[in-house]
Structure 1
Amino acid sequence: MPPAIPPAERLLNLVIALVNTPVRMTKEQVRASVAGYGDARSDEAFERMFERDKDTLRELGMPVLTVTHAGHGDDVGYRIDTAHWSMPPIELTAAELGVLALAAQVWQDQSLRADSTRALTKLRAVGTQAQAHDLVAGLAPRVRAGGDAFGPLVDAVQNRQAVRFTYHAATTGEVRERTVEPWKLLARRGGWVLLARDRDRGASRSFRLRRIRGSVRPVGAPGGFEAPTVQELADASHAWVGEGPERTALLAVTPQRAGALRARASGPAVGVDLPAGAAQVLQGRDLVAVPYRLGWELAEEVVRYGDAVVVLDPPEVRDAVVRMLRVAATLDRLRRADDTPDVRVADSEEARGA
């Protein structure tokens, strides 16, 4: 005897049938032709199964209509009204698709990984602009998933609940347990950073999620500490968000590429002083002026576009990009030399020993 069809699969089969029926489907037709309903042991069991599934579809927002035969009032059928259910065609710009890709990337090691991957695949399919895939490649990888610590910390920040975890400090190499009051999660330097008040030290500290070892455990009840003030948050995030006057970087960008950088451009780059050799680099490229505050952050964004973006000025951003590319090239050579299929390239910050 073949195994029974799962309820979710049966429900999907019913949706497909009711969407594609030219006029309507009677209960008898549903039972005879829709996979899953033939498993009903009796007429009563089928009635309960069908009514339950019909109610479920309506709760999900699908307009299951009851259609009565014009000449026979007791001849009842059903169909799904696609005219009131279907969405209009989705047209996403490259920037919109890039933001959705970034959101999906956040959940790549969380419980929504499979769902977000499937959704992103479908969204990429409707991105008609040629530069859509380029923007996804340039934007999405900038924030890597936060590991098993991400979900519990999101809940702890929202609930104002203290947590305890084991942390491997980058500067000293010390591994010790920390008890903190989580304030905020920041996406910085290609990963996630927790801003929190360290109860043992009585001061604010920042913790990179990739350096948390083991599980994050709640301490006490929700609402166990006061929310930080605006000034406390500003002080804690000082090293990560930057301050001071905004500066401008001059980039040579291949036409129709790097849409995210172009969207932030401060306007036409006219009347600016170009460094020596810039005219040759700009042949076949556009001059784009992009404002920034943190040089390393702009460098990490630029390097994702490969040779589509060249930094003309300032030198420190250009040098940072060159260092990252050299590290990536070195690691790639080592990977090919080892001939190990699953060797992964570390991010530039880890390669620098951060």
Structure 2
Amino acid sequence: MTPAERLLDLVIALTHTEHRMTKADVRATVNGYSQASNDDAFERMFERDKVTLRELGIPLVTLTDDAHGDDIGYRIDLDGYDLPRVDLSPAEIGVLSVAAQVWDGAHLDLPARRALTKLRAVSPAASGELSGHVLRIPPPSATFDPLLSAIASRAVVTFGYRGATSSAPAQRRVEPWQLVVRDGAWYVLGHDLVRDAERMFRLTRITGAVKVGARGGATHPRVTGTGGGLGATSRASGSIGRTVGDDGAADVARVAVRPERAGEVRLRALAATPGEAAWSGWDVLELAVGNADDLAGLLAGHTDAVVVLEPPHLREAVVTRLRAAAGLATVGTATTGTETDPVSEPATDPATGDIQSSAPTTGEAGRG
């Protein structure tokens, strides 16, 4: 019997026991434990299985007999084990559908598809913004799984890394934070303990196996939304785009997005918060600017669904594109000879030059 089968039988037994099961009960009635050659082997096997169940989030509780304090038994707390009903919105189903594409061609491809099939059977269809979105990303490499495991367990990883300008790999120790795709390649973003700074490493340049340290060994928390590490890599290679401003600060954009709109923009968000004041009812996203021209083109393509709050240079780039598009529409209408009304240039704020038609007016936030 495999360890997974033994664990499943143990879970079934501990959830159906009327009160508790002692170690003797487990050894005598649960399949797999009779394979232990002696008492010490059974103790080691059972202790490992208890740790595994708790790491999986299964609430295994320890009970002692009131009359005999050394008589210890175990059961699973059913109140803590039962999951609540899963209710997902069309936008959430859409996000999960897009996320499942990460595993295309990888070992979790089939489980991800099966999970989506089950969710779609009890949930509404994906929202139109995300249902047709296709991720253009490479399949995960052999280094992906150990890095993902280290991120989840807050562990330090060690690997050999061949830089863009070096011929021989160097040993790196990193506290990984996030796996991201940039320019069609997978990168791991984290704190480089060798250089004591945020860095991003391309997975295809990692040589050999990734060694994962002890759980909880990482101590440097990521500052959400700083965009750090992206800029460090772009300064070194010039291949990821500008993510650090002239003053050396991280170049992060804040944009207001209408609910369940601009799915492609949402996929790039570093953080999201509910809008306040004039932007109540909207979502405020933080985006790593990267290549400002590319981001401006993306945001302008969503017209009234997205409004750039900062930085000013990105706002200006988006406004420029919207004005150009409005001008082309005006010229096109004027040259057709039809009686349709020409499309005029959108109203602008005379003080800032910002287009006003995208921003909500007082009392109309989220509906303008």
TM band (smaller chain) = 0.3 to 0.5
Q: Higher helix share goes to which structure?
A: 1
When normalised by structure 2's length, the TM-score is 0.42
Higher relative contact order by CA 8 Å / sep ≥ 6: 1 or 2? 1
